Amino acid sequence: MTSERKYVVGITDHMIGEPDLEADVLGGDVEIDFFASTDETSFAPGRLARLDALMVWGARLGPKSIAHLARCKGVVRYGVGYEKIDRAALAAAGIPFANNPDYGTEEVADHALAMILSLHRRLWEHDAHARGYASGWQVHSLKPLSRSNKATVGVVGVGRIGTAVVNRLKPFGFRILGYDPGQPPGHEKAIGYERMDQLKDLLAQSDVVTLHCPATDETRGLLDADGLSRLKPGAIVVNTARGELIDDLGALDTALRSGHLAAAAIDTLVKEPPDDHPLLTAWRNREDWLAGRLVITPHNAFYSDHAAVEMCRNAAKTVRILLNEGKLRNQVTDIS
């Protein structure tokens, strides 16, 4: 017999169907109100007012909705990023907020490493050009092409995912630089990378730069025109973090066309799906000048069948602990 329902947990939207996994974790004393919408304007005030907790996937959450969360003990985002959540409005309403950082680390690190190795070995360029070779074969090897142990990879952000990337890079023999002011002294010794105190020094020395930091006031536009110009000529950029880190597609286009940037691999864009842009048109049309030099995946670096389950269960577990103990794990207190 089902126990009496004493809590109501809202779920705005979902990527993998009905929230059955969450229901299993939350238990029989929780009623789930599934909004099934990313459109914040569709969230009825009466439904919001009865929630003890709210779980958010892809929807925005702004002041108008937050004003109706009269009994809400906490808001939990399924993912790591929280650009769509008005944390200042939540703080003003006295509602704590948490993200869900402990899922998909392996997947994002694997995705980034696959991009790094494939662009470093120029696999996609070889594939694109090989289709047109009518004579000769091995003579068409692209140059320059260095050994892994003669190349330097700069890791911007050496937290959970950045650390996992460092650990995956080490067996290949890359020289590994790391930039992360948030990590304590000695972190580089424990993990095994060279700490860079200045981002500009990492950019200038790295053959590959891979981004693993959140989008903040300090990091948005990190690789704008100026940032890209600081890269070592012929460098490769990989971004599996946040689209806002490379928010100027025009600057990226210029860097690729000039050859200053050898190649780029991107999993996250500022707007998804992206609007039309000359660079994206060239990518979609497989234009010769860009062949194999720009790789875009549809914001799925985090995904595996296992990670999708882990995401749902971990977010629901955070809510269950909140309801049971009044404690919100993975709470985000910075509202910048």
Quote the CA–CA distance of 22 and 32 in Å, as a whole number.
Answer: 9
Active site residue 4: no
Full 3-state SS string of 195-245: ECCCHHHHHHHCCEEEECCCCCCCCCCCCCHHHHHCCCCCEEEEECCCHHH
| pLDDT at 30 exceeding the cut of 60 | yes
The residue assigned the tokens 């939540």 is 90
Structural domains of the chain in order of their starting residue, each with its CATH number: 7-103+305-325 (3.40.50.720), 105-296 (3.40.50.720)
pLDDT value of residue 102 = 84
Annotated catalytic residue: which of 126, 299, 313, 329?
A: 299
| pLDDT at 200 exceeding the cut of 90 | yes
pLDDT value of residue 192 = 97
pLDDT in tens, 43-69: 999 999 999 999 999 999 999 999 999
Dump the DSSP string for 20-78: HHHHHHH-TTEEEEE---S-GGGS-HHHHHT-SEEEESS--B-HHHHTT-TT---EEES
Per the structure block, which two tokens stand in for 184?
A: 């304590």
Label residue 3 by pLDDT band (50, 70, 90).
low
Active site residue 140: no
Active site residue 313: no
Q: Of 115-129, 186-200, 322-336, which range is least confident? A: 322-336
pLDDT in tens, 215-226: 888 999 999 999
pLDDT in tens, 159-169: 999 999 999 99
C-beta of residue 297 within 8 angstroms of C-beta of residue 112: no
Annotated catalytic residue: which of 147, 272, 284, 287?
A: 272
pLDDT value of residue 17 = 82
pLDDT value of residue 215 = 87
Annotated catalytic residue: which of 111, 122, 212, 242?
A: 242
Label residue 335 by pLDDT band (50, 70, 90).
low
The percentage of the chain sitting over the pLDDT mark of 70, rounded to a whole number, equals: 99
Label residue 83 by pLDDT band (50, 70, 90).
confident
The residue assigned the tokens 């030099």 is 293
Quote the CA–CA distance of 292 and 127 in Å, as a whole number.
Answer: 8
Quote the CA–CA distance of 41 and 66 in Å, as a whole number.
Answer: 12
pLDDT in tens, 179-188: 999 999 999 9
Label residue 80 by pLDDT band (50, 70, 90).
confident
Q: What is the mean pLDDT of the chain?
A: 95
For residues 322, 325, 329, 335, the Cα torsion angle rounded to the nearest 10 degrees is: 70
- Mean pLDDT over 239-268 rounds to 96
Q: What is the DSSP letter of 172?
A: G
